[in-house]
């Protein structure tokens, strides 16, 4: 009975155990800095959730991380290796900005959906290129997406310091987008804005799609065994392409919300690597959407509180990212050991 419960929740237990292990390991790193791990983690939580302002700030940090994690999960879960979400985020963010700068006179009711469509569409297009080359011509998708990452960021940066350079700002940013297409800030002290509702709707829809629809099942089949999926009558190419386009659109939404809700302009460094963090988080929970929601929330708390921790205990903020990377390694090791044990049991 008990054994059965463990078997059913095996994956979740491995992820949870690995997370605890990586936090403990992080404690060791913190101790190496001569700080008290309990105290440092305490400062971290305090800095992120200590009062309502801190909590709202953490919530604002959560939005791009959540979308980035989902962007990576959507692609990986469908068997597509989208390492290029960062470039897609940049292209999407710039596309939305471009709409705002080009059609400033349009009313908000037209401008907002137009900008969202441009942001999501531009990013999805940037994801379509490598997906097409991979699915139809067999080119290596990891290398392609990595190269398109750099191309996307460099191209948008070139546009931002060139023809679209802002007039009233320091170099590396465009002018502000019109008021009509801005998401209103919910509080005075944080970047939390009404864009969070769009993010939440997107996340809920994608979670439902991944867990409860036939398409979601097809994605998973294509990831687990492409040949078997084909044999089972699934149009593998179409299914994989849809996973990649969804991934691109989610990365684009992350970038678009940064422009329309937080920065109100495109900056050449608009993302401090959100999708790389999203990749760690997605890999850590084995691309499960609910896991992605939880992991990105935990990470938002850790990162939001990390500055406070660095201030109080001199432990650098990068510790957070390293702890999460260790989590991925532990999860991978956990799955490997569990699979080996399972096959040994079967042989007995």
Partner 1 sequence: MTEFFQAAVRMGTPLLLMALGGTWTLQTGILNIGQEGGLILASFFAVLGNHLFGSWIVGIVFAVAVALVYNMIFAFFSVSLRSNIWVIGMALNIMGSALSILFLKSFFGVKGSFRSPNMVRIPDVELSFLPSWLDGFSLIVWVAVAVLAVVAYMDSRTVLGMRLKAAGENEEALDAAGVPVWRLRYGVLVVNSVMVGLAGAFLSTSYLLSFVRGMSADRGWMAVAAVIFGDGHLGWTVFAVIIFGVAQAGGFQLQAMGVPSHLALMLPYVLVIIALVTRGIGKGRSS
Is 23 one of the binding residues for partner 1 (CB under 8 A)?
A: no
Distance CA 120, CA 95 (A): 9
Residue 273: which region, alpha, beta or left (left: phi > 0; alpha: psi -120 to 50)?
left
One of 53, 150, 311, 341 touching partner 1 (CB under 8 A): 150
Residue 204 or 337: the one with the smaller Cβ distance to partner 1 is 337
Is 143 one of the binding residues for partner 1 (CB under 8 A)?
A: yes
Is 316 one of the binding residues for partner 1 (CB under 8 A)?
A: yes
Cβ 173 vs Cβ 267: under 8 Å: yes
Q: How many angstroms from the chain centroid is the CA of residue 235?
A: 27
Distance CA 122, CA 177 (A): 18
One of 49, 56, 117, 146 touching partner 1 (CB under 8 A): 146
Kindly identify the residues of this chain, within the stretch 102-121, that bind partner 1 according to CB under 8 A.
none
Cβ 253 vs Cβ 92: under 8 Å: yes
Distance CA 178, CA 259 (A): 11
Give the angle subtended at the CA of 341 by the CAs of 14 and 346, to the nearest 5°: 130
Kindly report the backbone phi and psi dihedral angles of residue 192, in degrees, each rounded to the nearest multiple of 5, phi listed first.
Answer: -65, 130
Least distance from C-beta 268 to partner 1, angstroms? 8
Least distance from C-beta 319 to partner 1, angstroms? 7
Is 272 one of the binding residues for partner 1 (CB under 8 A)?
A: no
Residue 169 or 269: the one with the smaller Cβ distance to partner 1 is 269
Least distance from C-beta 5 to partner 1, angstroms? 26
C-alpha distances out from residue 178 to 51, 175, 186, 240, 302, Å: 33, 9, 18, 37, 34
Cβ 27 vs Cβ 41: under 8 Å: yes
Residues in the chain: 348
Is 295 one of the binding residues for partner 1 (CB under 8 A)?
A: no
# of chain residues touching partner 1 (CB under 8 A): 44
Is 97 one of the binding residues for partner 1 (CB under 8 A)?
A: no
Q: For the beta carbon of residue 100, count every other beta carbon within 10 angstroms.
A: 28
One of 21, 45, 49, 133 touching partner 1 (CB under 8 A): 133
Is 161 one of the binding residues for partner 1 (CB under 8 A)?
A: yes
Kindly identify the residues of this chain, within the stretch 25-64, that bind partner 1 according to CB under 8 A.
33
One of 137, 167, 344, 346 touching partner 1 (CB under 8 A): 137
Cβ 284 vs Cβ 328: under 8 Å: yes
Residue 123: which of 76, 71, 73 has the closest Cα? Answer: 71
One of 24, 31, 139, 311 touching partner 1 (CB under 8 A): 139
Least distance from C-beta 111 to partner 1, angstroms? 28
Kindly report the backbone phi and psi dihedral angles of residue 139, in degrees, each rounded to the nearest multiple of 5, phi listed first.
Answer: -75, 155
Residue 181 or 285: the one with the smaller Cβ distance to partner 1 is 285
Binding mask 194-233 for partner 1 (x = CB under 8 A): --------------------------------x-------
The residue written with tokens 């999203």 in the block is 278
The contact set with partner 1 (CB under 8 A) reads 33, 79, 81, 83, 133-134, 137-144, 146-148, 150-151, 154-155, 157-158, 161-162, 226, 276, 279-280, 283, 316, 318-319, 321-322, 325-326, 328-329, 332-333, 335-337
């Amino acid at each position: 009975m008990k054994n059965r419960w463990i078997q059913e929740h095996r994956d979740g237990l491995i992820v949870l155990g690995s997370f605890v292990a990586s936090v403990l390991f992080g404690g060791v790193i913190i101790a190496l800095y001569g700080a008290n791990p309990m105290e440092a983690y305490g400062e971290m939580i305090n800095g992120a959730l200590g009062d309502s302002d801190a909590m709202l700030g953490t919530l604002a940090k959560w939005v791009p991380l959540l979308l980035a994690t989902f962007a990576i999960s959507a692609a990986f879960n469908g068997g597509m290796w989208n390492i290029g979400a960062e470039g897609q985020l940049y292209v999407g963010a710039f596309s939305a900005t471009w709409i705002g700068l080009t059609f400033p006179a349009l009313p908000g009711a037209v401008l907002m959906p137009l900008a969202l469509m441009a942001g999501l569409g531009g990013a999805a297009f940037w994801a379509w290129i490598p997906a097409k080359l991979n699915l139809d011509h067999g080119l290596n998708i990891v290398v392609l997406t990595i190269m398109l990452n750099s191309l996307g960021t460099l191209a948008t940066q070139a546009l931002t310091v060139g023809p679209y350079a802002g007039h009233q700002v320091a170099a590396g940013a465009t002018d502000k987008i019109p008021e009509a297409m801005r998401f209103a800030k919910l509080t005075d002290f944080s970047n939390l804005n009404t864009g969070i509702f769009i993010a939440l709707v997107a996340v809920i829809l994608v979670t439902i799609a991944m867990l409860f629809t036939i398409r979601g099942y097809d994605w998973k089949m294509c990831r687990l065994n492409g040949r078997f999926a084909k044999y089972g009558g699934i149009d593998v190419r179409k299914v994989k392409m849809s996973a990649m386009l969804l991934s691109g659109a989610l990365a684009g939404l992350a970038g678009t919300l940064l422009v329309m809700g937080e920065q109100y302009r495109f900056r050449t460094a608009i993302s401090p690597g959100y999708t790389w963090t999203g990749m760690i988080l997605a890999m850590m929970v084995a691309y499960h959407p609910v896991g992605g929601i939880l992991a990105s929330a935990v990470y938002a708390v850790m990162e939001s509180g990390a500055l406070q921790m660095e201030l109080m205990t001199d432990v650098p903020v990068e510790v957070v990212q390293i702890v999460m990377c260790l989590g991925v390694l532990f999860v991978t090791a956990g799955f490997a050991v569990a699979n080996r044990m399972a096959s040994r049991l079967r042989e007995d």
